[in-house]
């Protein structure tokens, strides 16, 4: 199985700050990769797909990048509504696997 490692379990940052969340795949997964945001009691929401493409309706302050098997989600100017848990997903091969999540809070 492909392991998706989000090394940061939690992150606290100030409003307007630049935030980067990372996810490492245990093997090459190409661009079969996505980022999701989940708020308490809600279903996950797609933010970034294909590693770098912004999902419909998602603010442009979110961006994704890929360097080999390392993936990053960048929030350029942190807003209050960006709090939540961020998960990565590999959809390259079954079983599809998620990272363990990074909880983002405002300082």
Partner 1 sequence: EVQLQQSGPEVGRPGSSVKISCKASGYTFTDYVMNWVKQSPGQGLEWIGWIDPEYGSTDYSEKFKKKATLTADTSSSTAYIHLNSLTSEDTATYFCTRDFGSRYFDYWGQGVMVTVSS
Count Cα atoms within 13 angstroms, Cβ side, for 107: 10
Say whether residue 57 binds partner 1 (CB under 8 A).
Answer: no
Q: Which is nearer to partner 1, 42 or 107 (CB)?
A: 42
Alpha-carbon distance of 100 to 84, in angstroms, equals 13
As measured in angstroms, the least distance from the Cβ of 59 to partner 1 is 17
Residue in the block written with tokens 């590693």: 51
87 part of the interface to partner 1, by CB under 8 A: yes
Site map (CB under 8 A) of partner 1, residues 22-51, x = contact: ---------xxxx-------xxxxx--xx-
For 80, list phi and psi in degrees, rounded to 5: -55, -40
């Amino acid at each position: 199985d492909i392991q998706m490692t989000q090394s940061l379990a939690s992150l606290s940052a100030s409003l307007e700050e630049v935030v980067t969340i990372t996810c490492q795949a245990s093997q090459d997964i190409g661009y079969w990769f996505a980022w999701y945001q989940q708020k308490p009691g809600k279903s996950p929401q797609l933010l970034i797909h294909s590693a770098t493409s912004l999902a419909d309706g998602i603010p442009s302050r979110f961006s994704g990048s890929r360097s080999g098997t390392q993936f990053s989600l960048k929030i350029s100017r942190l807003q209050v509504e960006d709090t939540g848990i961020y998960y990565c997903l590999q959809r390259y091969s079954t079983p599809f696997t998620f990272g363990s999540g990074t909880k983002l809070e405002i300082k």
